[in-house]
Amino acid sequence: MDALLGWYDEERRELPWRVAPGKRANPYRVWLSEIMLQQTTVKAVIPFYLRFLARWPTVKALAAAPLDDVLAAWAGLGYYSRARNLHKCAITVAEDYGGKFPSTVGELQKLPGIGPYTAAAIAAIAFGASATPVDGNVERVVARLFAVRQPLPNAKTELKRLAATLTPEHRAGDFAQAMMDLGAGICTPRRPSCLVCPVQSDCAAAAHGIAEALPMRLERAERPQRVGYAFVALSEDGRVLLRRRPEAGLLGGMLEVPGSEWGDLLPPLNETLRTAPVRADWWAVPGTVVHVFTHFRLEVIVYRALVPADATLTFWADPDRCQWVARRDLHAAAVPSVMRKIIAHALTEN
Ligand code: SF4
């Protein structure tokens, strides 16, 4: 795999969290980038990463930030449990480790939000440990290099084992990043560029002409659908009624537009209107809002009402968890993307 490291020296992607080949990167920056990159593209992550780093340049600074500020800065990256764990992890590192990340895979994995992949990435890239981070990109490259025909997800353990056999004792961090770059730019899911690939001479799939067919996968079940109602209450003085979600679960601790539960079937409309957060003249906004989560697709019917600035909230609103947020302050509030879509949908029908 020397050819891969040689290729990385010349052709690697310049990314703001990276350092020159052969050097060890700052653990805080590697960790921050890796958490942001989980299920998000590099292109989407870069502006968030730069903003976070400018605002919280060290793990101690991030640990000292209010959770709400971190969640608000995260809005747009999705998967808010990651942001909550990011903050929890920063506090643990600041308080229990004196602001220094531990250097081994085992210790790193004990920290909130750090799984096997991220632990291996930090250990290799920031500490030079001979660890092998294996994500979907690396699985694909390894499945092709060794022409593994066993389908995913069953092949995961074997692909991990094979990936570890490739990892060198020295420059393991560069090797890990080279594999990431190879998967992102050359050994792509469709139409891999085998002709310009630095490891083509070692690749069994290329030799057999089956690169594009790998990795094989078991058929995936279709994503389930859920439906629900949302009530966007606008006060006469330009504020929107929002409610804090419970700490545990999906979008935990974020602000939401009050509404029905999300289920397989819509609850009857008259029953739903009875549970509106404010007694008002509710009006159905034409169309629906669709949002795709990892495990389900959500379709929301949006109701809107203009209410007095001192409107009384109903029992159904759960008033203790509600707050009125000025429309001009919404961009900085901890409001997840799905709720932003719902509010925008309600406001387009002015
Ligand atoms: Fe992927 Fe082709 Fe390179 Fe093999 S030769 S690793 S299939 S790009």
State the SS3 of 7-35.
HHHHHCCCCCCCCCCCCCCCHHHHHHHHH
What is the pLDDT, as a whole number, of residue 265?
A: 84
**Distance, CA 124 to ligand 1 centroid (Å)?**
23
For ligand 1, say whether the CB of 199 is within 6 Å of any of its atoms.
yes
Q: Ligand 1, from 138, 144, 210, 212: best to mutate by most atoms within 8 Å of Cβ? A: 144
Tokens 């593209």 map to which residue?
41
Separation CA 320–CA 296 (nearest Å): 29
- Split at pLDDT 50, 70, 90, the class of 294 is confident
Query: What is the pTM (predicted TM-score) of this model?
Result: 0.71
Predicted confidence (pLDDT) per residue in 155-177, tens digit: 999 999 999 999 998 999 999 99
Out of 14, 34, 95, 212, the active site residue is 34
Q: Which residue's alpha carbon is nearest to atom 7 within ligand 1? A: 211
Instruction: Give residue 334 CA to ligand 1 midpoint distance, Å.
Output: 42
Q: Which residues are bridge partners to 324 per DSSP?
A: 241
Q: What is the pLDDT of residues 296-335, one digit of tens each?
A: 999 999 999 999 989 999 988 899 999 999 999 998 888 9
Tell which one of 149, 190, 199, 210 to mutate to probe ligand 1, the residue whose CB is within 8 A of the most ligand atoms: 199
Our answer on whether the CB atom of 27 is closer than 6 Å to any ligand 1 atom is no
Mean pLDDT, rounded, for 193-219: 92
Q: Are 103 and 33 in contact (CB under 8 A)?
A: no
Task: Reply yes or no: is the peptide bond before residue 16 cis, omega within 30 of 0.
Answer: no
> Could you tell me the pLDDT band of residue 107, with boundaries at 50, 70 and 90?
very high
Q: Ligand 1: does its nearest atom lie under 6 Å from the Cβ of 142?
A: no
- What would the pLDDT profile of 114-156 be if each residue is shown by its tens digit? 999 999 999 999 999 999 999 999 999 999 999 998 998 899 9
Residue nearest to atom 1 of ligand 1 (CA): 187
Host H or E run for residue 326: strand 322-326
For ligand 1, say whether the CB of 205 is within 6 Å of any of its atoms.
yes
Question: What pLDDT, on a 0 to 100 scale, did the predictor assign at position 165?
Answer: 95
- Of all residues in the chain, the percent with pLDDT exceeding 70 is 99
Q: Is the CB of 36 under 6 A from ligand 1?
A: no
> What separation in Å is there between the alpha carbon of 196 and the centre of ligand 1?
9
User: Between the CA of residue 79 and those of 171, 282, 295, 315, 342, what are the distances in Å?
Assistant: 32, 31, 12, 30, 17
* Rounded Cα distance, 225 and 298, in Å: 6
Answer yes or no: is the C-beta of 206 below 6 A from any ligand 1 atom.
yes
Share of the chain above pLDDT 90, in %: 76
Ligand 1 atom closest to residue 198's alpha carbon, by position in its atom list: 3
Q: Which atom of ligand 1 is nearest to the CA of 214?
A: 7
Question: How many Å apart are CA 299 and CA 24, to the nearest integer?
Answer: 46
Q: Which atom of ligand 1 is nearest to the CA of 194?
A: 2
Q: What is the pLDDT of residues 42-62, one digit of tens each?
A: 999 999 999 999 999 999 999
Q: How confident is the model at residue 16 (pLDDT cuts 50, 70, 90)?
A: very high
Classify residue 100 by burial, with Cβ atoms within 10 Å: 0-12, 13-18, 19+: exposed
Which of 83-97, 183-197, 272-286 has the lowest average pLDDT? 272-286
Could you confirm whether 247 is annotated as catalytic?
A: no
pLDDT band at 349 (very low <50, low <70, confident <90, very high): low
**Hey, which residues does 228 pair with through a beta bridge?**
300
Averaged pLDDT for residues 4-9: 96
Ligand 1 centroid to Cα of residue 204, in Å, is: 9
Mean pLDDT (whole number) for 336-343: 95
The rounded Å distance from CA 144 to ligand 1 centre is: 6
Instruction: Please count the residues of the chain.
Output: 350
Would you state the pLDDT for residue 209?
87
